Amino acid sequence: MIIRTTALDQAAFFKFWGAKVITIDGKFLDNTFVLSTNRLVMWYEKHIGWVPYKQFCQERKNLKYITRKRDGLPAHFTGHRKFGFRLEDVAYIKETKTKH
C-alpha cells in the first residue's frame, strides 16, 4: 500500500515499522513523503499508535538529515558539523562526598 504524507512524524512512524521510502517530493519543510507499507501497519497507526520513543526519534533524525542533504543545505543544517568546544570540554567537575 502506498502512503503520501507531509507529516515528518507520521513518516518516521511508518519507517520505524518497516515502511520503505519511495520518493521525497518538494523542498525542505514542505516535503511530501511517499512510502510503501502494508495494511497491518496502517491499522496499527489508527487504533494503537505506540512506538518506542528512542527509535522513533532516530528515524525522525534520519529523515530530516536525508531531506536537508538532498536539498543542498549546509552542514550545520544537517546536524553533522561541530561548533568548536562543548561545555564538557571546559567544565571542571568536582567529586562530592556524601554521607548516607
Kindly report, residue by residue over 73-93, the tens digit of the pLDDT: 876 776 666 656 666 666 666
The answer to pTM > 0.85 is: no
Could you tell me the residue ranges of all domains in the chain?
Answer: 2-87
At 3-43, the pLDDT tens digits run 999 999 999 999 999 999 999 999 888 899 999 999 999 89
What b-and-e string marks burial along 70-98, b requiring 16 or more CB atoms within 10 Å of the CB?
A: eeeeeeeeeeeeeeeeeeeeeeeeeeeee
How many residues in the chain?
Answer: 100
